[in-house]
Structures are given as C-alpha cells and as structure tokens.
Amino acid sequence: MILAILSGLCLALMVIADKLMVNDCYQGDAKQALFISSFAGAALGLVVTSAYWFFGGTDTTILWEILTTWWSSYGLLIFVAGALSAQVLYHYFHCLSEDTDSTIIASWLAATPIFVFVFSLILLPFGLLFDEIKISPWAVCGIILTSCGLALLERYSYDSTRSEGKYWHHLAAMVLLSVLYIVLIDQTLGKGIEHTNIGSHDFILALLPAYWLGFAIGMRVMIKKENRISFGENIPLLRQYFIPILIMELLGMGVFFFEFLSLEELDSVTSSIIIGLHVIPVWIVSVILTHYNDSLKRKGRHSGAIFRFQLNTEMLDAFRVRKGSRLFQLICIIAIILGLTIFVLA
C-alpha cells in the first residue's frame, strides 16, 4: 500500500506542476509535452529499473530469463500497456492546456476505478469478470460514496472558468484509455503469474522494461515535420525550464514505477483507488496557491517565487478555491476517504 501512496503523491505533484507549466513551458502544445514526457519517462524508468535489477536483491540472470522467455506473450502485452499510458498522457496534456483547473483532471483520474468496475459488470455475462475485483454490497457502497465525493468536490468547489465542452473528447479518451490500461495490466499480470508459477515480485520486475519501451511510443508525435519544427523553435524556452522539467519527469516516472511495483501486493483496482486519493493533496495545494495568489494581488504584485520557481498571478488563477465552500469541500474529502476505506475492507 505504501508504494501506491507514493505513486499518488507523485501524481498529485505532477498534476499541479503540469498545470502551471503546460501553457508556459510548452506553449500549450500537448505534443511537445508528450514527447518530453515519453522520452524522459522511458529513459529515467529504464535507468531506475536497471538499478533495481542489479541492486534489488534478485538475481539479474533470473529476471533476464523471465523477460526473454515470456516476451512474446506477456511482455508484449505489458509493452502495449506502456503505449496506452503514453496515449493517456497525450489526452491529459490536452485537457490541462484548456481553460480548466487541475482538480477537474485529478477528479476524473481518481474516478477511473469506478469505470473499471462498470466495465467489469458489462463483461460479467461473457464470463470475463476479473477475479481481483471485489463485488459486494459494501464494495459498491464504497465506490458510490467515493465517486460522489469526487464529483461534488469537482462540481461545486472551484471558481475557475470552465471550458465549454472544448476538451470533453480528450477527457473521455483519457478515462477510456485509463480503463483499458488498468484492465490490461490486471489481466496480464494476474494470469501471467498464475500461469508461469513465478513469484509476483520477480515477474513484475522482469517485465517492467517492456513497459518503459512501450511508454516511449509517445515520441511518435515528432514523426510529423510541423511538430519537429515547432519543437525546435521552442528549444530555448525548454532549456530555460530544464530543472523544473527534470523534476516533473522524475515525478511522472515515479507515478508509473511505484504503481507497477504496488501490484505485487494489491490488485490493480485497489491500487488505482489508493492512487486516486491524489485529488486530496491537489486540493490542499490549490488552497495554498489560491491564498498565495490573493496575497500577491493585495500587495499589487503580478508575480512571486515559491522554492525559487517564478509564478505569476495569471498562472495562479487556475487555482481559485472559493472560501465559502471550504466546509463542503472538507465533507467531500471525508466522503472520499470513507468510501475508499469501505471498498478496501469489503
């Protein structure tokens, strides 16, 4: 569970940082953001995974044998899962580049397990229900309570101007691909471990490089000449933001790395629900940034620095939390935590 919590914390920080930077550093170009994230995420992921292979206490030759033996079956499916993750990021960056706040995105990502649950019910008549999904009255109550808390928190707690349907198709695609990703990971690892009789730790760790290779598929956006030209023109700005970009990509890599390793002890749905709690630190940081933004405006200033990162009031306007709804927000957060607890214990 600790690994899933770490993944959620990384995701919360990533969502906040991406919202602040996508329209500045990447000039609102989701393709540039995807290219950088796919390249850096895959590279950093392979480096960290390699270090884990050599210093994690498992014989490297055993891990390599597992990877090469099962590459043509389970390895390829994990590769596809990595590619799906990259495509999720593509739609995620599109959503962030529109006139919406980060908590809307965080809320929908957090609600992904609800859609997985619905998807599993659709498959029930075909005998394809996932063994790991807990279907009981209490589990259903937990899911409903969590989803209601998330929905109400997103719907009534923010002042920022909402896009008038401009990004809905990217939002729908992001959720749908996230569902497919969770389903694919759940089925591949669950059936793979059962079929091969290999321990979950060794099996997951051995196939992790395949995931990062699939994640690198996101770099395909630079095949188009116009995307390469736009990226080249933006290189000076990217150099200026090198350190923040590196920090963001380390966080992004941490999201998927910790999530993948958390599957050693948790099923994919439970892991996703725990990670979904990232909406809470996103909300907390949004409150802090709202207060900081108001403070700057009262002083007649248009910019300030937090941990040496320059922020202007225009960027901070994306985090407008209504003061009059704080109690309601707290109730929503309690509902989210309570719903999660009920589901996990059901």
Domain residue limits, the chain: 2-345
Give the pLDDT score at 113: 76
> What integer is the mean pLDDT of 269-293?
83
Give the pLDDT score at 85: 93
Give the pLDDT score at 7: 92
Give the pLDDT score at 101: 66
Share of the chain above pLDDT 70, in %: 89
Give the pLDDT score at 260: 85
- The lowest-confidence range among 77-91, 212-226, 233-247, 266-280 is 266-280
Please tell me the pTM assigned to this model.
0.83
Q: In b/e form, how buried is each residue of 264-277, taking b as 16+ CB within 10 angstroms?
A: bebbbbbbbbbbbb
Give the pLDDT score at 160: 46
> What integer is the mean pLDDT of 112-123?
76
Beta partners for residue 158, in sequence order: 321
pLDDT band at 307 (very low <50, low <70, confident <90, very high): low
Is 70 exceeded by the pLDDT of residue 125?
no
**CB burial of residue 115 (10 Å; 0-12, 13-18, 19+):** middle
> What integer is the mean pLDDT of 171-184?
89
Please give the DSSP secondary-structure letter assigned to residue 72: I
Contact call for residues 312 and 95 (beta carbons, < 8 A) = no
State the Cα–Cα distance between residues 8 and 10, nearest whole angstrom: 5
Nearest Cα to Cα of residue 93 among 41, 175, 15: 15
- The lowest-confidence range among 84-88, 120-124, 300-304 is 120-124
Give the pLDDT score at 42: 94
Is 70 exceeded by the pLDDT of residue 126?
no
pLDDT band at 161 (very low <50, low <70, confident <90, very high): very low
List of E strands, 74-227: none
Q: What mean pLDDT, rounded, does the chain reach?
A: 82
Give the pLDDT score at 84: 95
Is 80 exceeded by the pLDDT of residue 226?
yes
Between 323 and 293, name the one with better pLDDT: 293
**CB burial of residue 226 (10 Å; 0-12, 13-18, 19+):** exposed
Tokens of 39: 């390249």
Determine the distance from the C-alpha atom of residue 233 to the mean position of all C-alpha atoms in its chain, rounded to a whole number.
29
Is 60 exceeded by the pLDDT of residue 164?
no
Is 90 exceeded by the pLDDT of residue 127?
no
What is the radius of gyration, based on Cα positions, of the chain?
A: 20
> What integer is the mean pLDDT of 169-198?
86
Between 176 and 190, name the one with better pLDDT: 176
> What integer is the mean pLDDT of 140-165?
68
Give the pLDDT score at 320: 72
End-to-end CA distance of the chain: give it in Å, rounded: 16
Is 80 exceeded by the pLDDT of residue 176?
yes
